[in-house]
Amino acid sequence: MPNIQRYVSKELTHFVGGEKKTPEERYAVLTQILRSGWLTTNPIEPGSPKPLDMIPGRKISRNRMYYSHAICFCDIPVEDFGIHMAKYSPFGVAFQKSFLLAKGVNPVFYIANDSVLGKRVSDGKVTDDDVTRGEFFDYLSKGIYFRFSEGAQLLQNLPDLNPAVREYLLKYQKVDADCVHHLLAYLKPFHVTREDADPDNFYMEREWRSPDVQFALSDVWRVILPKDFATEFRRDFPDYVGQLTYAPDDIVPVDARAEQAADLDDEFGITMTIALAPKSGSERSSVTVSHGSLRREPVGSTQEGQTTPPKPLPGG
């Protein structure tokens, strides 16, 4: 019999309604998701291309520079949901990992902010000051942001650019856009020294992300909820044949994450949206860019917020 490692699961679970104040409101979010057949950050247009906000005044090491409109799952066995439920919600929906892989799900790339890369160099000399990975990725992400931003504005504001220069800018705009959407948007910096139950110890979340997920009720592998809602759930969903798991009665919610609440005053940046070409097509993927103030409003969906449309780039 093969050995089994319990710290991963064959399921991925999305907990819902964390922004709601009462269990009844959270249950309503769960039922809305199951009836709609969508896990989405945009209930008005589920399945639409996902924008990604880039805010240069913030730090990626604090998980605040890039805001990807993605669906988040945890790769945590059912027996170990306690810490995660305390952070988010005792209501959740789970799918087999094999089902979600076909939907584009992928684990995030954890970065240890405290990890030392080397010593700082000043005026050509090596100093005694350490440079951490958190600092390095702050520097790297801002460089990518400004190269993309400046290139996008050149392309839209200078129609008479030399064709070779335009082709060069277009090529690297695509490289930068893919880097942001498929790499930087999946980075998850965290502080190793924090306790397991610390709200900012993101490593314990074992997070995966995906675009919107469309599903049938028969695709749902497990539903998690407090036992008090079991009778109502079975009445609301008599055709559900998946597993039903009761959340522990002693879950105590924790305070909002400190790092997620940082830098809220700085909301100026770029919203980038990539409309991917059809798999069978030969045309390039298109990139749409808007530049301006980013302001999030609660939308009552599976995620905590949504971005209002920013102003287009000048000349766009």
pLDDT in tens, 129-138: 888 999 999 9
Residue type, 185: A
| pLDDT > 50? residue 170 | yes
Q: Give 90-110 pLDDT, tens digit per residue.
A: 999 999 999 999 999 999 999
State the pLDDT confidence band at 21, using cuts at 50, 70 and 90.
confident
**Domain ranges across the chain:** 11-307
H or E element that contains 67: strand 66-68
Mean pLDDT of 26-42: 93
Return the SS3 of 170. helix
State the pLDDT confidence band at 256, using cuts at 50, 70 and 90.
low
- pTM for this one? 0.79
pLDDT at 303 (0 to 100) = 38
Q: How far apart are CA 92 and CA 101, in angstroms?
A: 19
Q: How far apart are CA 27 and CA 253, in angstroms?
A: 16
Q: Are strands 51-54 and 106-107 parallel, antiparallel or unpaired?
A: unpaired
Angstrom distances, CA of residue 219 to CA of 19, 42, 97, 213, 290: 26, 21, 11, 11, 36
pLDDT at 48 (0 to 100) = 81
The answer to whether the CB of 249 falls within 8 A of the CB of 226 is yes
pLDDT at 49 (0 to 100) = 77
Sign of the C-alpha dihedral computed for residues 300, 110, 77 and 47 taken in this order? positive
Q: How far apart are CA 229 and CA 246, in angstroms?
A: 9
Q: Helix 163-182 vs helix 133-157: angle between axes, to the nearest 10 degrees? A: 140
The answer to whether the CB of 173 falls within 8 A of the CB of 148 is yes
Angstrom distances, CA of residue 251 to CA of 119, 281, 285: 44, 49, 45
- Which tokens sit at 5? 């490692």
The answer to whether the CB of 108 falls within 8 A of the CB of 188 is yes
Angstrom distances, CA of residue 152 to CA of 67, 254, 291: 19, 42, 10
Return the closest-CA partner of residue 103 out of 245, 210, 232: 210
pLDDT at 270 (0 to 100) = 56
Q: How far apart are CA 262 and CA 268, in angstroms?
A: 15
Return the closest-CA partner of residue 75 out of 14, 16, 29, 17: 14
Tell me what the pLDDT averaged over the chain comes to.
79
- Which tokens sit at 172? 């690297």
What is the secondary structure of 143-168 as a DSSP string? HHHHHHHHHHHHHHH-TT--HHHHHH
- Which tokens sit at 44? 């008005």
Residues near 137 by beta carbon (within 8 Å), at least 6 away in sequence: 60, 61, 111, 187, 189
Q: Give 45-93 pLDDT, tens digit per residue.
A: 888 877 777 787 888 898 888 777 889 999 998 888 888 888 889 999 9
